[in-house]
Structures are given as structure tokens and as C-alpha cells.
Amino acid sequence: MNKQVKLAQIRYNTDSNGRDQCWRLVLDGEEILVEAVNIQAPVFTSRDWIEPINKFKHHISVESCHVHVDDAGVALITAG
């Protein structure tokens, strides 16, 4: 997958078994699960209130970036 996004948010997948699909990527609101994340762009932290669970979720976030996910499920996030 190759995708240009306005906002990529990364957070740990608490439903993971600790070995597989450990990371949630929220790309312009669309969520996918990946094995690992390599970020080569400026980052900041953010948090969102998730209404269905009545909790805040915290993210490492990247604005205006390109996201590539390879066949092994490794995400590369770069500036641009």
C-alpha cells in the first residue's frame, strides 16, 4: 500500500498478542493494523476522545506524509 495522507496517527494495538499486528495506523480516519512502524518525518503527540469507549487514546502523529506498507506489514512513514 502506498498512500499520501494529511494525518497519520500511530498507537499500540492493545488487542494484539504482543507478537503480531502490534500497531494501529489511523490514516485520515481509516484504521489498519501493521507489524512495525518506521517513522522518518517530524512527529508530535496527540490525543482523541473515543466516544464508544469513553476514553482518550494517545498517538504519535505525523502531518502531510507518505505511508508505505510492505507485504510483511511494515509501515514506512516519510515526510511529504
pLDDT along the chain (80 residues), means of 10: 98 92 96 98 96 94 98 96
CB 61 within 8 A of CB 47: no
pLDDT of residue 49: 94
Instruction: Sort strands 55-69 and 2-12 into parallel, antiparallel or unpaired.
Output: antiparallel
Confidence at residue 33, expressed as pLDDT on a 0 to 100 scale: 98
State residue 27's pLDDT score: 98
d(CA 10, CA 23): 7
